[in-house]
Amino acid sequence: IACRFLRAREFRIEDSLILLKKAYDLLKEHDADNWSSQGAEACLGADEKLVKTFYPHQAQGYDRYGRLLCFEHNGNSNFPAIKSVTNRTNLIRYHLYTMEKCYDEYFTKTPKNPAGLSTISMCCICDFENISLSQVSAGLDHLNNLIALDNVCYPEQLGKLLVVNVPGFIAGVWN
């Protein structure tokens, strides 16, 4: 873990310690010690399967480099429906729960690379098939929150990001 924080700050020790302190403070702010053992539904305040119907995502298997595979079907996301069953704070807690609890289980089972070490990173596949401009607008705040959170709490965790079925209006914004 320390190496990820060091790499994220180009091995500047003082900057790495500042980032680590920010991560600690964020986890404390979101009361991670108390809800992390309670399960996904306690974090969400809603049925996890219901939330996944509005925000289809899962972690399943590994790529050929031993990275955990995460799939998101962003084109089938319905952020107004998500907000009708849970709130922003609970979504952040759920994300933290997923990263801390569920991925811990995956990473302890991660296949070893040729050097005999586990790869502690992810390969995320985001599918934008069927996405509309209104979906992008509705989900942008949530996405920005997660990116900011991951940049602080989980630096150097994303090994590869694949974005597929991107409509022209997203490609223009992305560039």
56-111: pLDDT as tens digits: 999 888 888 888 899 999 899 998 999 999 998 999 989 888 888 766 776 677 66
In contact, 91 and 142? CB cutoff 8 Å:
yes
* Separation CA 8–CA 34 (nearest Å): 28
Q: Which helix (H) or strand (E) holds 60?
A: strand 57-62
In contact, 128 and 90? CB cutoff 8 Å:
no
pLDDT in tens, 158-174: 889 999 998 888 766 66
* Separation CA 9–CA 151 (nearest Å): 11
- Name the DSSP class of 74: G
> What percent of the chain lies above the pLDDT cut of 70?
89
